Structure 1
Amino acid sequence: MGTFCARVWEIIRACVNKTFSYKPKPPHSFILGHLGVFNETVKFFPPNTHPQAYYTALTQNRPSDHGPSYPMHEETDNFLTPIVGKDVIAAANGKKWKMLHHIMAPVFKPAYIKSMLPTIADETMLFHGRLTCAAESGEVVLMEDTVANFVFDVIGRFVFNFPLHAQTIGSQVLGDIRVLLESASLAATTTWNPVAKVARYLKKRAAVGRLDSYISEKLKERYSIVKESAKYHGPYPNSEDAGRGSRLR
């Protein structure tokens, strides 16, 4: 029996090696896979680090161990759908990715970013003031929440051109987005507790309703501004002068 098992093991190992040996990869164990290399990488990070940091470190430290980029897996879209909706650029491939990239590219043009520097500076000063007050008073602050508020306000000014006040009085929109993130967490999606599932579903549905209503209203306001501006400056934005964002303000 032992001889038979050993023979089967050799056959399986030979097949696996023949199938995957030509592909670039870190040192591999037939039993543990890449857990050995992964464990070595994890040791350099503090507890509760996001797994993406591990993968990035592996890629940077072992550039010869990985091959070409592959299409985004459908599970990425499944994970992001409850948070930001289906078919977002972070999970898209091929023509769909190119279309979404074409739509979003004008916002990241250097000319447009430069026109938004005063806005970024205003929000940065609020962020600096918040940290200064905390340092002077000895208050303990959660940097993750504080930085999230800062980034959220900057993005809000970029998209809607008005403050969302996450750094000052707080933002219901940011709170609702956090509810969506919690609903997509591993603990929320794997629980067997029916009461917890129903409670999370109702909480998520309420948050989605508020977000849809708020964003729809602001998009209509923004569209009115763009439409009014087009009467005096011509259609905007377009592929030729999308960088001149100051025309809308």
Structure 2
Amino acid sequence: MRRRWSYLRISEAAERIAEAVTQRKLIVMLASCTVSYEGRTVSRLGEGERLIIVKPDGCTLVHRPYGSLPVNYQPEGSLVSVKREEGSLVIVSARAKPSEKLVIRVTRVLHLITAEVVDNAEFEVGGSEREIRDAIAEAAELLLGEKLKSVEVEAKLSGAGFADLLMVDEQGNFVVVEVKRDKADVEAVYQLKRYVEHMRGAVGPRVRGILAAPSISRKALTVLAREGLEYRRLNLRRLVKVREGLTRFLVEEGYGGDAGGGGVHGL
């Protein structure tokens, strides 16, 4: 026998969600909706009961009642807006670069939670820096967001030490990559600077430096920018999949690079 829901009025849900978006609260809603997407491709998903999650950073996800992946999503940094339209509640999650828009049209709200949620814990990555380094060498585009060709792993730079990775970008620049398993600090920045300066002395000015870590301290980020070096945040989910040999899965499911966002999954 099909269960019965005590539906929340669309008008009330719209007000609560609009307020939550303004106050940067977490929104969790079980609702009957359609989903459409325009951007890297065009897709539409018909009416169905789904779990909708809007996070304080703009990340928006739509889950079906089965499977672990969202059927559609927009990444953090997306602009979320809410409006009422012809008896429906419309949630739009959009961003300009790349240009893409996710539209969720809700016809019935089965359950709605809005709340301020605090989580400041550090996520500890399983595996050693060597394993992370090898994963980047294998799938730099997925983990660092650009195509890089591996030249040498654990590159010996004379008296400067050993760089985790020496790579080359599509413009022919050498790229020194320093990997940290935990939060990167100022010491890591100066370590990378030492490697980059050595390489520039050996091959000329066309040398970039990338510090890859799950997170970085504010002071380290400031010093990094001052020294003309770069930071890439390691996406832990992608890292685990690469280590498990699932790079094809990541590409097919649209998780490649930092662009994120968009496509319909698991239809």
TM-score normalized with structure 1 length:
0.24
Greater share of helix: 1
Greater share of strand: 2
The structure having more radius of gyration, on CA atoms, is: 1
